[in-house]
Structure formats: structure tokens, C-alpha cells
A = this chain, B = another copy of it.
Amino acid sequence: MIESIDRRETSFHKLQTELGKVIANTPPGERLPSEPRLSKQLGVSRATLREAMRAFEGQGIIRRKQGVGTFVISHTHVIESGLEVLESIETISKRLDLPVSMGEKTITFISADDELALMFDMPVRTPLVKVERVINVEDRPVAFLIDIVVNDILLPVDLQKGFTGSVLDFLIRRGNPTLSHSVAEIQAVAASSDIARYLEIQRGDPLIQLSAKLYSDEGRMIDASSSYFLPGVFRFQVVRRVGSL
């Protein structure tokens, strides 16, 4: 039944969140508690704890030295994210225990013009929903996000129930349609006057722009988003492999 939608808040996820808090509350360069102590503190075995730590290590957040201890590398207040996995800012922030809040949120109902119709592969005038929002870190705007979603995916009734603002989180939580992947293009742009006003910066200041298209497992395009990030606050990482893999 629809019962099994939300097994994502499992124990391991919880563990990662808890561990993230511990790391976030440890000053950069400082040592974490030893693994036996941490495992007892978090209520898991050392083996399980080590798996969780490995994930953080892979993102370059902590570094382990045999015979010495585990150290925190990057400082808080920098949203660090591997680009390979698609996660909402809320999810990343929660894991890293960052003080993130949502600022201005605007929802408008539009209909597809030629460009959008082509992009979504749907007829012109197809009803769409446009979600614009500002992300704050400690009451300072750091990102401006625009999502355009097909109307039948994000119904008006959905917008009232469990919609926090993150289209991605909402779709993941609902589980229908099943999401597959997203293709994103990264650019550097100069802030337009509109966006500069939202982010309280100067027009012409450099921004990171992420233009992404989100696809369902059936290959249907569900969401087109354009996101603008303040450099310095966000660090986008990607692992590049040589040759065959």
C-alpha cells in the first residue's frame, strides 16, 4: 500500500544527522571524540558509526589519522555538497546542522509559452506552477531558487498540505512519480538587478547559476529549475575520474 512511502527517515539517516551535529559543533581543526566514545554516545556500534563517518570523510568534511584521531576540516556556515547526488538545500543543511531558513516565497500559476512548451515537451498554454523562494543562512539571503513544475505534479491542494518550499523534497517524500535523475548545467553569471535585490548584493556581482532539469523514471521531464547561489557560502564539489569507470 501507500504505507511504504517514507522509510527514508531510517536509523542510518538519523545517525548521519546526529553525527553531522556533532561535527558541526566541533571547531575546525579540533578532534572528535574517539570512536568507542562516539559510538556509545550515539547509541550505535563502532562498525556502524565508522560507515557513517566514511560518508563524511568522502565529502572531505573530516579526516581520520590512525593512531591520532579524527579531525574536522571544513568550517560550518559553508554549504558543501557533492554534486553527484541530488539533494535539496534543506536536506544538506539539516545534515550539516546549518541555521537555514526560508525567506520570501512566491507561488504563481502560469501557462507555458513557446520556450517552456518546448522544454517540457508539452502543448503551449499548458498550466504550470512557478515557485520562487529565497534561502537564508542566519537571516542573510544566500540563494534564490526558481522551480517550474507541471501542474498535474504539484496540485494546488498539495501546496497547502506538506509543502515547505522544496519541490524536490516534496516529490521525494511523496514518492510518486519516482524520480530518476537531474541534468544540471553550471554557469557563472552576473547578478541581474532583480536577483541582486533578492540577495541584497550589487548588480553585476558574480553568482553561481545551476540550471537543472529533473526527470522521472519514465523519462518525463517534471521540473525545470534555475538556482542562483552566493559564492563563498556554497561550495560545489564534484569527483572526476580518469579514464574508465
Contact = CB atoms under 8 A, between A and B. Distances in A.
B240 A187 contact: no
A66 interface: yes
A119 to B, nearest CB: 12
A244 interface: yes
Given A181-B239, A238-B84, A242-B181, A208 B190 contact: no
Interface stretch (A48-56, A107-115, A144-152, A159-167): A48-56
A51 B16 CA distance: 14
A195 B84 CA distance: 30
Contacts of A85: 58-60, 240-243
A32 interface: no
Contacts of A103: none
Interface stretch (A34-42, A128-136, A199-207): A199-207
A12 B84 contact: no
A20 B245 CA distance: 7
Nearest to A189: B206
A238 B238 contact: yes
Most B CB contacts (10 A, CB to CB) among A24, A87, A181 go to A181
Interface of A: 8, 10, 12-13, 16, 20, 23-24, 47, 50-51, 54-55, 57-60, 66, 75, 78, 82-87, 91, 172, 179-190, 204-209, 212, 229, 231-232, 235-245
